[in-house]
Structure 1
Amino acid sequence: MQAGDMFPHFVLQDENGEKVDSDALRGVRYVIYFYSKDNTPGCTKEAVEFTGLYPKFMLRNVPIFGVSGDSPETHRKFRESQGLKVKLLSDPDHALAKEVGAFGTKKLYGKEVVGNIRSTFIVGRDGVVEEAWTNVKAGGHAQKVLDAMLSHFRDDEPMEF
């Protein structure tokens, strides 16, 4: 999946077991990032950094969704323990991750493993991917996403309050 591609339709459960349907996001720009597992060092760092910048994303009404194969219950505990603001979605069979190219073989501590590949997408109001990053490093990535997201706004486009 790259910039210019239509982001696929999805319906996934959030940390509260409620369904998030991408059809309901039409007309809203959003960030969706894929990570391996709740409560792991890199994934925690990324989620905490996105949470720290969350108010800046929300000034432009841009929600952030993190996606992994973890259950809604595990997501809820992760969110609570870290004070996260981002919404966490459960993709237990990795269907969405596979569809967007965020699942496959990767190196983890020198070993090859199969799982989610840290990837992030900014999806425009029309459902088209505006920016795409794959195989990213957790530290500092949220700021890069924020900077790219802001570049998609016109100067005359109002901020949300």
Structure 2
Amino acid sequence: MLQDARVQALVRATQAGLPLVPEPYAAVAEALGEGWDETQVRAELGRLLAAGVIRRIGVVPNHYAIGYRHNAMAVFDVEDAQIESLGPRVGALDFVTHCYRRPRHLPLWPYSLFAMCHGASREAVLEQVEQIRALLGPACRAHDALFSTAILKKTGLRV
């Protein structure tokens, strides 16, 4: 799929992110030139998503630039029988930017549900973690908050 010169051009045009304009797909089509329009850009990106070449298209905000100086990955040991129903509820909270399930690595790592929280203060983030723990109720056997100490560069697909 990535051997196609047209697909490679699209990936190159989007690998640093979509342009921050009102119509980003139209801007990508314009940058790609003749033979591209917004509909084709969307269709090709959709095909790459469906094929698993691209996992997702999303916004990656710079939390520090928008005032969130404290960021923590909240981790929870949630009963397996309840994680499928509780995980989406945690992910829907307005202060959780991403939430996912990961395997435990016993005996050292009992946590199976992860939720990224952001706040203006450490105390604000800890309050968010407590809200999640309360939502999980007795299904949550343990939890912790792992605060960020550095900003890691996030990159997507490169060709």
Q: Same fold (TM over 0.5)?
A: no
TM-score by length of 2: 0.20
TM-score by length of 1: 0.20
Answer 1 or 2: which has greater helix percent.
2
